């Protein structure tokens, strides 16, 4: 009888990399191609990560004793390690960003912090894990875009590119861990799909909350030029979200597994570039 619960390919190693990034100079300016909106978008994404990463760790760790497969147990440990370093590095990122550009980190994090506290108190653990599964897929889809689209970070600050691509690689490596735990503890397809619908709306809301705060502080909230560039950055021919719909929609298939989209070549290519 096959008792395997981990379905991450054996060829993919979930490797904790204790990397540190010097971002101080880059964060003083619009580091993403000198584009106000694109920089604000990525900075707003970073704002969501520390609270989000801690939530992911907690929701998966809750079921640690229910997992019998040694490989999935190891996957979980490496997942915790990777997410902990992401949390640390994005905390540093966010604190530096706000200190240097006058943004209010407490105000930026407040809506997400309140919602996380409510979820922890009112939502069953299995549904919390379903939310983690959904957001982990969203981040994996964006990670594939970040590594697969070679034009995305062209002319962006190299220090920032290094951070975002490192984060993207590790998101792809561990993209199935929460999913495999959820499946192992008997999570339902209905709950998983519902979690994705909620998570898509909430993540977009959280990022746009951050973008609004950043642009307002920069005095550019009502600039038509900035918002036009934002639409182009997200949905234009070379837009950040272009080409991601098929991977996103795959999540709703009944037979879905994250590694049906094999992104191991992107991981290998990145590792070769680090040598």
Q: Could you tell me what percent of the chain has a pLDDT over 90?
A: 97
Residue 58 lies in a domain: yes
**Nearest Cα to Cα of residue 217 among 39, 87, 65, 22:** 39
Residue 269 lies in a domain: yes
Whole-prediction pTM: 0.96
pLDDT in tens, 34-74: 999 999 999 999 999 999 999 999 999 999 999 999 999 99
pLDDT at 1 over 70: no
The rounded radius of gyration (Å) of the Cα atoms in the chain is: 18
Give the separation between CA 258 and CA 200, rounded to whole angstroms. Answer: 17
Residue 14 lies in a domain: no
Residue 115 lies in a domain: no
Residue 2 lies in a domain: no
Residue 19 lies in a domain: no
Two structure tokens written together for 232: 């182009």
pLDDT of residue 2: 54
In the chain, how many domains are there? 1
pLDDT at 227 over 50: yes
Residue 59 lies in a domain: yes
Range of the domain at 148: 28-110+120-273
pLDDT in tens, 148-200: 998 999 999 999 999 999 999 999 999 999 999 999 999 999 999 999 999 99
Residue 54 lies in a domain: yes
Give the separation between CA 216 and CA 223, rounded to whole angstroms. Answer: 10
Q: Is 223 helix (H, G, I), strand (E, B) or coil?
A: coil
Q: Which value, to the nearest 10 degrees, does the dihedral of the CA atoms of residues 233, 234, 238, 243 take?
A: 170
């Amino acid at each position: 009888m096959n008792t395997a619960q981990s379905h991450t390919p054996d060829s993919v190693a979930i490797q904790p990399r204790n990397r540190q990034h010097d971002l101080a100079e880059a964060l003083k300016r619009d580091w993403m191609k000198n584009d106000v909106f694109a920089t604000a978008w990525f900075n707003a994404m970073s704002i969501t990560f520390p609270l989000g990463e801690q939530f992911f760790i907690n929701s998966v760790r809750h079921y640690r004793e229910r997992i019998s497969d040694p490989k999935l147990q190891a996957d979980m440990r490496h997942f915790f390690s990777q997410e902990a370093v992401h949390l640390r590095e994005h905390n540093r990122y966010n604190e530096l960003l706000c200190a240097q550009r006058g943004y209010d980190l407490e105000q930026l994090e407040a809506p997400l912090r309140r919602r996380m506290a409510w979820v922890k108190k009112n939502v069953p653990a299995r549904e919390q894990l379903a939310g983690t599964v959904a957001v982990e897929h969203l981040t994996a889809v964006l990670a594939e875009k970040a590594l697969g689209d070679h034009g995305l970070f062209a002319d962006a600050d190299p220090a920032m590119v290094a951070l975002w691509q490192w984060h993207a690689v590790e998101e792809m490596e561990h993209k199935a861990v929460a999913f495999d735990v959820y499946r192992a503890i008997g999570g339902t397809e209905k709950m998983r799909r519902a979690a994705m619908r909620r998570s898509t709306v909430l993540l977009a809301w959280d990022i746009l909350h951050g973008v609004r705060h950043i642009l307002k502080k920069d005095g550019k909230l009502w600039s038509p030029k900035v918002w036009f560039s934002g639409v182009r950055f997200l949905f234009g021919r070379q837009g950040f979200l272009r080409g991601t719909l098929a991977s996103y929609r795959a999540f709703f298939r009944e037979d879905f597994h994250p590694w049906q989209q094999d992104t191991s070549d992107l991981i290998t290519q990145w590792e070769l570039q680090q040598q």
